[in-house]
Chain A
Amino acid sequence: MVEEPTSRATAAYRTLAPGVLGYLRAQRAPEPEDVLGEVFLQVARDIHRFRGDDGDLRRWVFSIAHNRVVDAQRRRGRGRSTPHPAPGEAEDARLPVAAAPADPIDPALVEALARLTDDQREILVLRFVADLPIEAVAKVTGRKPGAVKALQHRALDNLRKAISPGA
């Protein structure tokens, strides 16, 4: 029996919304909850045309979120691969509301992610926060799987240094 598009969109929201919200927060999207709503509205609008399994659905939803983030970054005039300023350089003012210390999420991790380049942070977030395999990350970002692996390796090293500078 074919599942109704509304229930498919609702089920996708219940499954994927936490990951998408984490992705948006880690990517420092402005007002991530609102962007999350926009992402799933687009999912609900277009899901009747979607064909694929759960893995494809996950990649498709994160592709939409990725495009939203890229659009937001372009609107803010931020260039890609620009290193973020070190902590303390008026960086806290740009942190999303959800990254406030009172939140249950990891503020130190958010801060360390903010110090990576856009490319490195994007790979790490898609790979581990969104829980996508290497091939899916490669497709979402338009890179080759080998490039994604290399970027992930460097990103993890830099994240380690950012979290524990003395290590």
Chain B
Amino acid sequence: MSTSVTTLTGNRGLQVEEKLIFEQDQPGRTAVDLPAVEPYLDRLGGLRRRGAIGLPGLSEPQVVRHYTRLSQKNYGIDTGFYPLGSCTMKHNPRLNEKMARLPGLADIHPFQPESTVQGALKLMHQLAHWLKTLTGMPAVALSPAAGAHGELCGVMAIRAALEARGETRTKVLCPESAHGTNPATAALVGFEVESIPATADGRVDMAALKARLGPDVAAFMVTNPNTCGLFERDIIEISQAVHQVGAYVYMDGANYNAIVGRVRVADLGVDAMHINLHKTFSTPHGGGGPGSGPTVLSAALAPYAPVPYVVEQADGAFHLVEQVLEATASGQQPFGRMKGYHGQFGVFVRALSYMMAMGRDGLFQASGDAVLNANYLLARLSAALSPSFDGPVMHEALFDDRFLKDTGVTTLDFAKAMIDEGFHPMTMYFPLVVHGALLMEPTETESRESLDAFIEAVLGLAERAKAGDAEAFQQAPRLTPRRRLDETAAARRPVLRWTPAVE
């Protein structure tokens, strides 16, 4: 079977090969015209840069073509179905982008006098109100920059609360299916991490958890719905058991999309949960961020929330508390500051725009449709694939590689074959608790036609794998700008930047 189409240029129709910007350099070219600078006396104290930096010069048409061509080598939600489990790749409404670019929201500075940014502070206050109302939690720290940063916020608040109680606890417990960020976060806050096993039905083993709980445990970090796409049915009992030994419940909100409007996490006994605005509330992932990870906190943890935060004053004006000292004067005990300035404000605007568009009725419908779509995938694919656990599932459906047994096709091969069929692959090999995981999260913004097309492709590929055509899978993808890349070589001899050829 031919592996790729050969052309004289290496180009293939709309797929055009594109050199690095450094390889397109012509000295003196620029895409920006600047006024001449009159002679002046500089204040550089003798530190003027000597010698060229080596940045390439390109004109505007070249730059526009370069990035347009690069963009065409990417798959996005705008391109097609992106069922990446645990990532909630839902449609990113363009209204959000338009709102975030209003000059009164984009072209304002974090250190303007407060009197000149009352609208911005009110927007933060409104976003906080939505998040607190939906979760039932009394407080929210808006400043964390992404999910893992929100975890850090929650776990630091837990550590601060324990210290305020005069207690030293050393352990954080995580289920073995946890995202890697959970143990990495706990370690950053000085805790040792221990794993709690799962039951045969993919949930936290209550008996094992209860047996491990004790006065050395600071917190239990649990993703719910969990990374197998299942709701932890015993969450209330879990919270009670955790609280009974004086520990706190951190709920990883990566999968919050499934339960928005369906349950208030406060009613589950949760002490802290981050919310990925770039998942649940539709802000774009941008090829790897920026995200935003506001963290809701229970009454027990609220006093330790980091600065800055917005308060509404008696006169109706909004005030930003930026200094720990000011917070302490009003009875708070912030554990500190987590990032520069005031949080991911541009992401706040987009998330609020989405929440207002959906409203409480739309958010309720959205979690319903997300769960319906996932269960539809599970139902239609169960006979041909091997589901890891019984449904109903929440927002995502987990399969393992038993259906590929003895076919010579791996989960990786299967995922790469999906690419040639025009779909972004599902999440592969995560969670680690099942062998060769294929984790599919459709989200609520996919139509039934789109799901059906995906299902037909998956069923067809499963049939082809079982028919013994492993070779075709191992060659996939064939139709992409690049075929499988040598990741081992990349790691063995890292080339992390362009360097000029030695003359």
Q: Is chain B a partner of chain A in the same complex?
A: no
